[in-house]
Amino acid sequence: MVKDPVQETLDYLKSHKLLLTTAESCTAGAMVALLAAIPGTGEVLESGYVVYSPSAKKRLLGVNPQTIERYGLTSEAVAWEMALGALKDSDATVAIASTGITGPEPQDGIAPGTLCFAWAFAGEPLAVFTRSQRFFGDRADVMRQGAIYGLSRLAHYHQRWLRGERA
């Protein structure tokens, strides 16, 4: 029997006593919504930021305008700064950030379905892991796939952090 990846993430957060915040652009709060649909999420979810516009990323999460200018909104560098900004502004111990293009058209030469993620872990030392991934389908499919991917990879990167690996 295949276990629900969102339930697995919730169980992982609980068993490792992690408190989550998200910084979502292209997934538009879908990570928080998927978690919140399951009872018991309040134990492990601190907050969720939906920062769709560049100005919101700058104002609410402290994303550097020069990072956006140099790397573009769909970049691991922007996801990195979003995750750190969400951690800094919360009591959470882990943050997941997402930014990208859900489609249907390419933007700035970047294919639709291209999403960039960051997973940041508070503590000593602080660590951030990033990854880009491409998803296929319509906007709603890409958003859902991206949200599930972001959540489902949390345990993988947390284990890497526990082993002392760095991005």
Give the tens place of pLDDT for each residue, 17-76: 999 999 999 999 999 999 999 999 999 999 999 999 999 999 999 999 999 999 999 999
The residue among 151, 108, 120, 155 whose CA lies nearest residue 133 is 151
> Any idea what the CATH number is for the domain that residue 36 is in?
3.90.950.20
When divided into structural domains, the chain yields a total of: 1
Give pLDDT, residue 2. 66
Query: Is 67 within the bounds of a domain?
Result: yes
Query: Is 167 within the bounds of a domain?
Result: no
Residue 161 has which token pair? 């952090």
Q: Read off the pLDDT of each residue in 5-26 and give the average, rounded to a whole number.
A: 97
Domain extent at residue 141: 5-162
Q: Enter the pTM of the model.
A: 0.97
Give pLDDT, residue 166. 73
